[in-house]
A and B are shown apart, each in its own frame.
Chain A
Amino acid sequence: MRIERELMRGAGPVAVLTLLQRGEMYGYELVEALARHSDGVLNMGQSTLYPMLYNLEAKGLIKGQWRRSDSGRERKYYHLTGKGTRRLATQTAQWQAIVRAMRALGVVPEVGSAGSALNAGATA
C-alpha cells in the first residue's frame, strides 16, 4: 500500500525517531527497518529518507556521526538527541490520540474486535 505524501510527511519522522530511540542506526539500516517493521507501508527510498534525516538533524532532533564500520567502510550513524527524545514523546502522544480518535470513528478497528465500533452499533 502506498501512503500519500502528506501522510508520510507526518508519519515518517516519527517512525525514524522511534527507530533511533532503540539505538543508533545508519541510513540503509533505517530504510530496511522501516520496511520490515511496517510491512512495507513506510517503505521509503533514499530520496525521501536522507532529506528527512537532514531535516531532523537541522532541527537538532538527531545527530549524525561518521564512523568506520567493522567491514572497514565509513557509515554515518544517527542517534537521537535529548531534544529528539522529548519531541518523540510529544509526537507519540499525539499519534496515540489520533489513533484513539480514529478508533472511536471506526477508521481504526478495536484491537481484537472483528468489526468497527460503528459496525457493531449498527448491528445491535
Chain B
Amino acid sequence: MNERSKARPARGTSLVRLAATTPIRDVLRGRFLSGRLDVDRIVAEGDLPDPLPDLILRVVRRTRLWRLERADVARELVEHFRDDLEGGSSPTRTAQAFGDPDRAALQIRRSRIRNRRASSRLIERVIAQSGLPESLSELIHRVVRRTRLWRHERADVARELVAHLCDGLEQGRSVEHLIDSFGDERVAARLIRRGTKRKRPIAWRAARRTVQTTGAFVALMLVMYLALALRYYTGRPKISHDYLAQLNAPIRAIPESQRAWPIYREAYLDLEVVPDEILKGGWYDPAALRDPAQRARVSAYLARNTEAIALIRRAASMPHMGKVLSHEPDAELMARDAPEGYEAPTAAPESLDVSLVSLRLPELGILQEFARVLATDADLAAERDDGATVVADLEALLGAMRHTAEEPFLGADMNGMRIFLIQLNALGAILADKPNLLTDAQLIALSHRISAQRREGRVAASLRSLQMIFEDIVQRVYTDDGRGNGRLRASGMATVRASMGVPEPDGSVEWFKMTLLPPIVSVASADRRSALSSYNRFVDRAIARSQMPQWKWTSALDNQKMLDDMQRVWFGAAKAMMVYWSMPIEYYILASEEITQRRDAMLVVLALEIYRRRHGEYPDSLDDLVPDLLPAVPPDRFTGEAIGYRRTGDRAVVYSVGADRDDDGGVPPPGKDGNTLASIWRAPDSSGDDRPIPDGDWILWPPIIPESRAGVGVQTGRSDD
C-alpha cells in the first residue's frame, strides 16, 4: 500500500460508504471507519494502470463471495498484478496472461469455499495433527467445545492444550497422569472462557456490557411493572363508613306528623302536569303571561288543581322536610313522569351507584315546579286583588325554600335559593304592579319572614357536605391501608370511569392507555390522603371566601391554581372527578351573595312601601327608614356602602352599583341583558376575565322587564346603541 493510501481514503469515499464497508470485527476493536471491505478503494489505492483495475473489479464481482473474502481477493489480485508489472510485464500482457476473468472468478470462488470448510474444521485438524492419544484428544475436544468461544479462539485454546499435553508426554508423563492433573473439565472450560473473553476487544466488551446492562434494566423495569400491575389490579376499595346512614339518622328521628315530604308527594301525584307557560318564565316575567288566552289557560289549570295547591301550602307549613335519603326510585313518582314504555332499571346497583353522588332527590325538582305554580298562582291572585291567597302562596314559597335547603347538599341549597329568588321576584312584581294590594300587617309579616332567611354559615355547611360526598367517593375508589391512606386501583378507576360515562377502551391505543399505562401512572397519582387533603384545602379556601362579604373579595377564587395542583398529582378520570366536584363551588358562593343582596333589597322595598303608606310619599333617603322600619340600611354587596336608592316623583328605584362599582344613579346598562350583566360579580383586578364590564347599575327593584307593563318596572335606561 502506497503512502497516499495510508494517509487517506480514496477520493470520493464518503463516511457513509466507509461505515458500510467496515467489518463488525473492526468496529468491535475500535476501528470504526476502517473501510477495509471497500473493494473499489482497495483497487484505487493499488494505483494500477488500465485495464487492470477494471479487470480486478470484474473478477471480484463475479466471485459472489462474502464481502470479507472479496476484499481479500481484491488485495491479492492487486499484489499479483503489481508484482507482474514490477517484473517488466506491460499492463496489456498482464491482463492477457490472467486469462478469462469469468473462469478465474469461478476458480477463486471454488477455492475460497473450500477454505471456508477447512476453516470450520480447523480445531479438528489441530487436534488430529497433534498425534495425541484418543483419550487426550477427546479431553481437549470436550473442554474446547464447552468454552463456547469464537472459532478462532477455540482453535487457539486447542493448540495450546495440545502443546501442553504433548510436552507432558515428552516429559514422560503417563496419559492417566495428564488427565488426572488436568483438573475439572467443566471448571477449566468455564475459567478459560472467562479469561479468553477478557482478552476480547474493548469495543466488544463495551457493547456486551451495554447489552447486559440494558437487558438487566429492561428486566428490572419489567419486574417493577409486574409488581405495580399486580398491586394495581388486585387492590380493592373497602367501604368503611356509611355516610348515608349518618345523614339519615336525624331525618328518621323526625316524627311523621312533622314531615312535609309525604304531603308534597301526595300533592305531586294529585297535581296535573304543570304546563310550559308556568314552567318557562311566567313566574319571573309577568309579561310572559300577558296574552289573555294564555292567562286563561293557566288560570283554568290552577283552578283545576286548587286542592293540590292547598296540599302544597299545607306541606310548606310543616316544620321539616323529613324525606329519608335513598337510592331507591319512587315507583309512583316515576310512573307519573316517565314517558310511555319506560322501564325502570332492574340491575343491582354497584359502588358509586349507592354512594351519596347517586342519591335520588326527586323532591328538588318537584319543589321547583311547585315554586313556579305558587308564584303564578300569586300573580293571578294579585290580578284579582286576592291578597290573602298572594300571602299564602308567598309564605308557602318560603316554606318550600326552607324544606329544600334542609337537605345538606350544595345542590339542595342552590335549589332553595332558586325558590327564594322566585318568591322575591313574585313579591317584587306584585309590589310594583299593585302596591296597595297587601295590608300593612301582611307586609310586615312578610318582611319578618324574609328577614329571617339569613345565610350565615349556610355556605360553609353545604361545602362541608360536599367534602362528605367526596370522602364517600374516595372510599369507593381508593384502597384502605387502615391508617387513613390508600391507592387508586383498577376497580376504583373502573368505578370512576363508569360513573363519569367514560367509554370502554376502543382500539389498541385506547386499550394501552386504559390497561397497560394505569399501573405506571398510578404511582404518580395522588394517594388517598393527598387526594382528600388536596380537595379539603380547596374547600377550606372556598369556605374562607364565603365567610367574607363580597365587597372584600380582591380576586376570583383561584380555581386555576387548584387545577394546577391537581395536574401534578392526579390523572385521567380521577382528576376529572375532582374537577367535577370543585367547579360549582365558586358559582355557588356567588349565587349566595346575589340572593343575599336581593333579600336585603326586598326588605328595603317593603320598608319603603310601609313608609309611603305612612307618609304619602317615598323618603328622600333610606336613612329615613332607620330604625323604625329597618334596623340599618343594608350594604351594597359590591362596595360595602349603603345600597342604592333613587326617588323620582312617586317612583322609587332600589339598586346596587353593580359590577362596575360606579354609581350611575340607578340606571341599568343598555341592552336586553344589561341588568343581568351588571349583577355578575367581577374581580376588581379583572384577573383571568377579559369580558368588558357593563357601565350601569344593577336594578334590584322594580323589576326590569323588556316590555314594561303600564306603570310597572324600570325601562332599560339607554338604547342598545
Binding site for B on A (CB under 8 A): 26-29, 31-32, 44-48, 50-55, 57-59, 66, 71, 73-76
Tell me whether B185 and A50 are in contact (CB under 8 A).
no
Q: B196 to chain A: which residues have CB within 8 Å? A: 54
Complex formed: what's the CA distance from A31 to B160 in Å?
Answer: 13
Q: A74 to chain B: which residues have CB within 8 Å? A: 159, 163
Q: B181 to chain A: which residues have CB within 8 Å? A: 45-46
Tell me whether B182 and A76 are in contact (CB under 8 A).
no
Tell me whether A47 and B195 are in contact (CB under 8 A).
no
A54 to chain B, nearest CB (A): 3
Complex formed: what's the CA distance from A58 to B192 in Å?
Answer: 12
Tell me whether B191 and A51 are in contact (CB under 8 A).
yes
B144 to chain A, nearest CB (A): 11
Given A46-B188, A47-B191, verify A28-B163 contact (CB < 8 Å): yes
Given A46-B188, A47-B187, A50-B188, verify A58-B195 contact (CB < 8 Å): yes
B188, closest chain A residue (CB): A47
Tell me whether B159 and A76 are in contact (CB under 8 A).
yes
Complex formed: what's the CA distance from A124 to B110 in Å?
Answer: 88
Tell me whether A58 and B199 are in contact (CB under 8 A).
yes
Tell me whether B163 and A47 are in contact (CB under 8 A).
no
- Any A CB within 8 A of the CB of B573: no
A39 to chain B, nearest CB (A): 16
Tell me whether B185 and A47 are in contact (CB under 8 A).
yes
- Any A CB within 8 A of the CB of B648: no
A58, closest chain B residue (CB): B198
Stretch at the interface among B166-174, B447-455, B550-558, B597-605: B166-174
Tell me whether A55 and B182 are in contact (CB under 8 A).
no
A54, closest chain B residue (CB): B195
Q: A75 to chain B: which residues have CB within 8 Å? A: 163, 167
13 A-B contacts, Cβ less than 8 Å apart? A26-B164, A27-B163, A27-B164, A29-B167, A32-B171, A45-B183, A46-B183, A47-B184, A50-B192, A51-B191, A55-B195, A58-B195, A66-B159
Q: B164 to chain A: which residues have CB within 8 Å? A: 26-28, 31, 46, 50
As a 0/1 sequence over residues 187 to 221 of chain B, the CB contacts with chain A under 8 angstroms (1 = contact) are 11001101110110000000000000000000000
Given A46-B188, A50-B195, verify A28-B168 contact (CB < 8 Å): yes
B interface, over-half SS = helix
In the complex, how many residues of chain B place their beta carbon closer than 8 angstroms to a beta carbon of chain A? 25
- Any A CB within 8 A of the CB of B374: no
- Any A CB within 8 A of the CB of B161: yes
Task: Point out the residue from A45, A57, A66, A71 that lies within 8 Å of B182, measured CB to CB.
Answer: A45
Complex formed: what's the CA distance from A66 to B163 in Å?
Answer: 10
A32, closest chain B residue (CB): B171
Task: Point out the residue from B163, B185, B194, B199 that lies within 8 Å of A76, measured CB to CB.
Answer: B163
Complex formed: what's the CA distance from A71 to B167 in Å?
Answer: 10
Complex formed: what's the CA distance from A31 to B187 in Å?
Answer: 18
Q: B192 to chain A: which residues have CB within 8 Å? A: 50-51, 54
A46, closest chain B residue (CB): B182
Q: Which of A45, A54, A58 has the most CB of B within 10 A?
A: A54
Task: Point out the residue from B159, B168, B191, B194 that lies within 8 Å of A48, measured CB to CB.
Answer: B191
Given A46-B188, A47-B191, A75-B167, verify A55-B198 contact (CB < 8 Å): yes
Given contacts A28-B163, A44-B183, 5 further A-B contacts (CB under 8 A): A29-B167, A46-B183, A50-B191, A71-B170, A74-B159
Task: Point out the residue from A26, A52, A54 that lies within 8 Å of B167, measured CB to CB.
Answer: A26
Q: A52 to chain B: which residues have CB within 8 Å? A: 195
Q: B182 to chain A: which residues have CB within 8 Å? A: 45-47
A2 to chain B, nearest CB (A): 13
Q: A53 to chain B: which residues have CB within 8 Å? A: 195
Tell me whether A50 and B160 are in contact (CB under 8 A).
yes
A56 to chain B, nearest CB (A): 9
B362 to chain A, nearest CB (A): 84
Complex formed: what's the CA distance from A27 to B160 in Å?
Answer: 8
Complex formed: what's the CA distance from A50 to B167 in Å?
Answer: 15
Q: B183 to chain A: which residues have CB within 8 Å? A: 44-48
A7 to chain B, nearest CB (A): 17
Task: Point out the residue from B163, B187, B199 that lies within 8 Å of A73, measured CB to CB.
Answer: B163
Complex formed: what's the CA distance from A50 to B162 in Å?
Answer: 12
Complex formed: what's the CA distance from A59 to B195 in Å?
Answer: 10
A24 to chain B, nearest CB (A): 14
Tell me whether A54 and B159 are in contact (CB under 8 A).
no
Q: B198 to chain A: which residues have CB within 8 Å? A: 54-55, 58-59
Q: B160 to chain A: which residues have CB within 8 Å? A: 27, 50, 76
Complex formed: what's the CA distance from A32 to B181 in Å?
Answer: 12
Complex formed: what's the CA distance from A41 to B170 in Å?
Answer: 24
B170, closest chain A residue (CB): A71
B348 to chain A, nearest CB (A): 70
Task: Point out the residue from A26, A32, A51, A73 that lies within 8 Å of B194, measured CB to CB.
Answer: A51
Q: B184 to chain A: which residues have CB within 8 Å? A: 47
Q: B185 to chain A: which residues have CB within 8 Å? A: 47
Q: A27 to chain B: which residues have CB within 8 Å? A: 160, 163-164, 167
Complex formed: what's the CA distance from A76 to B158 in Å?
Answer: 12
B489 to chain A, nearest CB (A): 51
Complex formed: what's the CA distance from A53 to B160 in Å?
Answer: 11
B187, closest chain A residue (CB): A47
Complex formed: what's the CA distance from A31 to B168 in Å?
Answer: 10
Q: A50 to chain B: which residues have CB within 8 Å? A: 157, 160-161, 164, 188, 191-192, 195
A61 to chain B, nearest CB (A): 12
Q: A58 to chain B: which residues have CB within 8 Å? A: 195, 198-199
B672 to chain A, nearest CB (A): 91
A83 to chain B, nearest CB (A): 15
Q: B188 to chain A: which residues have CB within 8 Å? A: 45-48, 50-51
Complex formed: what's the CA distance from A28 to B172 in Å?
Answer: 13
Q: A29 to chain B: which residues have CB within 8 Å? A: 167
- The 7 tightest CB contacts between A and B, nearest first, are A54-B195, A47-B183, A47-B188, A51-B191, A58-B198, A28-B167, A45-B183
Complex formed: what's the CA distance from A106 to B236 in Å?
Answer: 68
Complex formed: what's the CA distance from A28 to B184 in Å?
Answer: 17
A30 to chain B, nearest CB (A): 10
Tell me whether A51 and B161 are in contact (CB under 8 A).
no
A40 to chain B, nearest CB (A): 12
Complex formed: what's the CA distance from A32 to B160 in Å?
Answer: 16
Complex formed: what's the CA distance from A50 to B184 in Å?
Answer: 13
Given A27-B164, A76-B160, verify A51-B171 contact (CB < 8 Å): no
